[in-house]
């Protein structure tokens, strides 16, 4: 049987604002409602950032706690993945929410350029975030903005800084970082299988108009798919996406096209080796 496809919904991110698309959920209650719709549409992972009331990004553990609690209540079983990304804070503030013991957290293991700045992930901070994830039994999702990040994850796994087989997300289409390049994408898959085994799971995210492109590449190649308003606010070139759920639905339709069953939350937990909800 074909491997079920896990759909991750990146609901908010740290960049898009209401002015870009009024459907971007900003407050915790908006985030819970938007995630609930996406969960019903087929998403089994919620990738979460939190915002201040003025929409600026924050890493405030209290906001993360309120969101996590709401999601666990309203989307029972759904995998909660909190971002330790660097646009919302600096240094160890980026990992202050890991003691909440979410199922998963994102982990960047190297630096690269972003549209207007350097995305700085110094080695000592990466190691500290990874150690906090081990301490609190949080499964990392490795955000690979570059090939070197996949090899770095392998090194960290080999020497025990990452506990289980790394689950890598290929991120493509961020301005000034890796574009959506099919040959590179295929080499990423090959590298993951060479380093982590033929059964190793991986996923992919594309930014902006690349979102649907990466959904199609991942779903047709046996990977898992990320969608959501964090990465892309449009449903097509001229139309804003009405909701996170609408983007999830588009990924579900892509799974139908390639005859990939959409993973339930229980299947997703099993595939990723996560504790039962
Ligand atoms: Zn994110």
1 alpha carbon – ligand 1 mean position (Å): 31
CA of 238 to the centre of ligand 1 (A): 24
Over the chain (277 residues), the average pLDDT of each successive run of 10 is 92 97 98 98 98 95 97 98 84 94 98 94 96 98 98 98 97 98 98 97 98 98 98 96 98 98 98 89
CA 105 – ligand 1 centroid, Å: 10
CA–centroid distance, 228 to ligand 1, in Å, is 10
Place of tokens 């949080």: 138
Residue 182 Cα, ligand 1 centroid: separation in angstroms? 23
- pTM beyond 0.85: the answer is yes
Greatest Cα pair distance, the chain, in angstroms, is 48
Q: Which of 21, 18, 99, 89 is nearest to 60 (CA)?
A: 89
- Contacts within 8 Å (CB) and 24+ apart, 188-195: 188/144, 188/147, 188/150, 189/221, 189/223, 191/147, 191/150, 191/151, 192/150, 192/168, 195/150, 195/151, 195/154
Distance 244 CA to ligand 1 centre (A): 14
pLDDT of residue 98: 97
Burial 48-72 (b: 16+ CB within 10 A, else e): bbbbeeeeebbbbbebbbbbbebbe
Q: How far is the CA of 51 from the centre of ligand 1 (A)?
A: 12
Q: Work out the angle between the directed axes of helices 210-220 and 182-196 (0-180°, nearest 10).
A: 40
Ligand 1 centre distance from Cα of residue 34 (Å)? 16
Query: In terms of Cα–Cα distance, which of 171, 160, 170 is closest to 133?
Result: 160
Please tell me the distance between residue 155's alpha carbon and the centre of ligand 1 in angstroms: 24
| Cα 78 to averaged position of ligand 1 atoms, centre (Å) | 17
3-state secondary structure 49-110: CEECCCCCEECCHHHHHHHHHHHHHHCCCCEEEECCCCCCCCHHHHHCCHHHCCCEEEECCC
């Amino acid at each position: 049987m074909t491997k079920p496809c896990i759909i991750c919904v990146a609901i908010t991110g740290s960049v898009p604002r209401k002015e870009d698309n009024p459907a971007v959920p900003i407050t915790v209650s908006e985030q819970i409602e938007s995630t609930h719709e996406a969960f019903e549409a087929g998403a089994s992972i919620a990738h979460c950032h939190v915002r201040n009331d003025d929409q600026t990004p924050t890493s405030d553990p209290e906001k993360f706690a309120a969101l996590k609690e709401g999601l666990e209540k309203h989307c029972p079983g759904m995998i909660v993945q909190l971002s330790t990304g660097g646009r919302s804070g600096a240094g160890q503030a980026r990992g202050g929410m890991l003691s909440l013991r979410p199922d998963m957290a994102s982990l960047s293991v190297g630096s690269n350029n972003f549209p207007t700045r350097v995305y700085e992930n110094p080695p000592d901070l990466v190691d500290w975030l990874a150690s906090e994830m081990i301490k609190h039994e949080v499964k990392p999702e490795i955000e690979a903005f570059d090939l070197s990040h996949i090899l770095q994850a392998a090194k960290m796994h080999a020497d025990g800084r990452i506990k289980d087989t790394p689950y890598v997300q290929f991120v493509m289409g961020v301005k000034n970082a890796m574009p959506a390049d099919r040959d590179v994408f295929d080499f990423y898959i090959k590298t993951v299988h060479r380093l982590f085994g033929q059964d190793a799971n991986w996923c992919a995210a594309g930014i902006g108009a690349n979102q649907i492109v990466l959904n199609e590449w991942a779903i047709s190649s046996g990977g898992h798919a990320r969608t959501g308003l964090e990465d892309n606010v449009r449903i097509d070139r001229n139309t804003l996406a009405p909701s996170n759920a609408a983007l999830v639905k588009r990924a579900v339709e892509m799974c139908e096209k390639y005859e990939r069953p959409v993973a339930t939350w229980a299947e997703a937990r099993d595939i990723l080796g996560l504790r039962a909800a």
